[in-house]
Amino acid sequence: MAAALAALLRQEKYDVDHVEDGASALIALESGVYDIAVLDVMMPEMSGFEAARRARGRGVKTPILMLTAKSQLEDKVTGLDSGADDYLTKPFQTKELLARLRALGRRSASFRDGSLRYGDLSLDTATATLTCEQNGQSVRLSEKELRILEYMFANRGQIMTREQLAVKIWGFDNEAEYNNVEVYMSFTRKKLAFVGSRVEIKAVRGLGYELRERDV
């Protein structure tokens, strides 16, 4: 069922990673790179309830949809109390699943169509255009540059590790090397400099990168 669901979501243009047990699901959630998580209650090693509870206890805010064959009210309450945002009982209709995922996606702060803003920057994700609102200078971004800035806009003020960026931009199972992150960070920094923004991507030695405004 998980493989079929992953295939369905890929057809709907979602980027999907699939893990096979609750412990792995918790690790994936803690990576902070996912916009939505779909958890089955009856997973090996750790239940979906427990994975959600531990993730929330560790500050993970990723929207969670809980899937289960259980339909009792007590189980639904347990799922929601454990930190799930929504609950869907198997068997379910594909249209309902997709509708619920769209609703959860709207709650997520990152990777939504429209305009994102930080400091003097405006990022139009529909056209991949970065604009400095102070001087009106704009530049088009490549697909990787856009995804880097989307992710960093959504997590401004936090240090993003190279591993987090590699997983978010290239995928959980991708073998992209960390030097790919370095290369595309260099490209993205040049775009920020081109538009004359006060916003910069600062390398934090031994940790990763942080999006922040330079002192004037």
* Model confidence band, residue 46 (pLDDT cutoffs 50, 70, 90): very high
First to last CA, the chain: 55
* pLDDT beyond 80 at 134: yes
pTM: 0.54
Stronger pLDDT, 164 or 192, i.e. the higher one: 192
Contacts (Cβ under 8 Å, ≥6 apart) of 99:
none
Pairing relationship of beta strands 138-140 and 129-132 according to DSSP bridges: antiparallel
How far is it, in rounded angstroms, from Cα 96 to Cα 105? Answer: 14
List residues bridging with 67 in a β-sheet.
40, 88
pLDDT reading at 39 higher than 70: yes
What tokens were used for 57?
Answer: 């206890």
Which of 67-71, 142-146, 169-173 tops mean pLDDT?
Answer: 142-146
Q: What structural domains does the chain harbor?
A: 2-107 (3.40.50.2300), 115-213 (1.10.10.10)
Helix 178-194 to helix 162-170 angle (10° resolution) is 90
Q: What are phi and psi of 86, to 5 degrees?
A: -150, 165
